[in-house]
Amino acid sequence: MEEHNEKQCEASVKLLLVDDHPIVLEGLRSALQKFEDIEIVGEASTGKEAIVKAQSILPTLILIDIGLPEMSGIEAAREILKTAPGIKILILTLHDDREYITQSIQTGIQGYVLKDSSPAELIQAIRSVAKGGTFFSPRIAKKILDDLVARKRTTLDPEQKPLTKRELEVLGKIAEGLCNKEICSLLCIGLRTVESHRSRIMKKLNIHSVAGLTKYTISKK
C-alpha cells in the first residue's frame, strides 16, 4: 500500500498557483485539491514571488494570471522559462485580447484558459499541459482560427496547398487541445476521417506535432 501511495504521489501534477486575489487563490485551491492527481505545492501573489517559488519548488506546472503586481504574468513566465524550461505554464486570465495571447505564446507557455471557463475545462487544461500537450479555451482558439481563415490566402506560401474548410475545422479543434475521438464526436465524422485530416494538415503545413500545429494557428493571427 505504501509503495502504491508513493507511485501515486510521483505521478501527481505538482501545481503552483499564482494570482493576486486571495479569494481566487482560495477558490482554486478548494476546487483543485479534490483531485488525487493534482498536488498544490505552493502559491504566489506577485510575478516576482512566482519566479522565486518556481525556482525553489520546481513544480510540474504553474497556473498564472496575467495581471499581477510588480510584473505581469507574461513577464514572470518568460523569466521562469529561462532558468527552468522544463516547467509547464498555463495562463488563467480574464483577458482574451489577441495581443496578450500572442505575447503569451511567444514566451513559450503551453496553454491559455479564460477565468469564465468551467471547472471541467480547467482540469482538462491542467492535465493536458502537464502531460506535455497544449490547451486553449475554445473561445480563444475560435478567435485565432477565424482570423486565420480570413487571412489564409495572403499568408500561405504560394507553393503551399491551402487547407480545406474541414481541415481548418479540425485544426481549430486540435488548437483547443482535443484528441481525435473528441474531434470526431464534435464534428460528426469517423475516427479514420479525423486521422486522415490531421495527417493531410501536417503534410500541407510541413508540421509534425500537435504543439507545432497550435503554434502555427497562433502565428497566423
What pLDDT score was predicted for residue 133?
Answer: 85
Q: What DSSP letter does each residue of the chain carry, written as one string?
A: -HHHHHHHHHHSEEEEEE-S-HHHHHHHHHHHTT-TTEEEEEEESSHHHHHHHHHHH--SEEEE-S--SSS-HHHHHHHHHHH-TTSEEEEEES---HHHHHHHHHHT--EEEETTS-HHHHHHHHHHHHTT--EE-HHHHHHHHHHHHHHHHHHS-TTSPPPPHHHHHHHHHHHTT--HHHHHHHHT--HHHHHHHHHHHHHHHT--SHHHHHHHHHHT-
Global pTM reads 0.70
How large a percentage of the chain has pLDDT more than 70? 80
Kindly report which listed range (16-30, 54-68, 101-115) carries the lowest average pLDDT score.
101-115
Task: Please indicate whether residue 219 or residue 44 has the higher confidence score (pLDDT).
Answer: 44
Q: State the average pLDDT over residues 41-63.
A: 96
What pLDDT score was predicted for residue 8?
Answer: 43
54 and 47 Cβ atoms separated by less than 8 Å: no
User: For the chain, what is the mean pLDDT?
Assistant: 83
Which cell numbers in the block locate residue 217?
494557428
- Cα dihedral angle (90, 93, 98, 99), rounded to 10 degrees? -90
| Residue 25 pLDDT greater than 80, yes or no | yes
Q: What's the CATH code, domain 2-136?
A: 3.40.50.2300
* Residue ranges covered by each domain of the chain: 2-136, 139-219
Which cell numbers in the block locate residue 138?
475554445
Please tell me the distance from the alpha carbon of residue 132 to that of residue 192, in angstroms, as a whole number: 24
Q: State the average pLDDT over residues 34-57.
A: 95
Report the top-level CATH class of 139-219. mainly alpha
92 and 122 Cβ atoms separated by less than 8 Å: yes
Q: State the average pLDDT over residues 155-165.
A: 65
How large a percentage of the chain has pLDDT more than 90? 45
What pLDDT score was predicted for residue 4?
Answer: 41
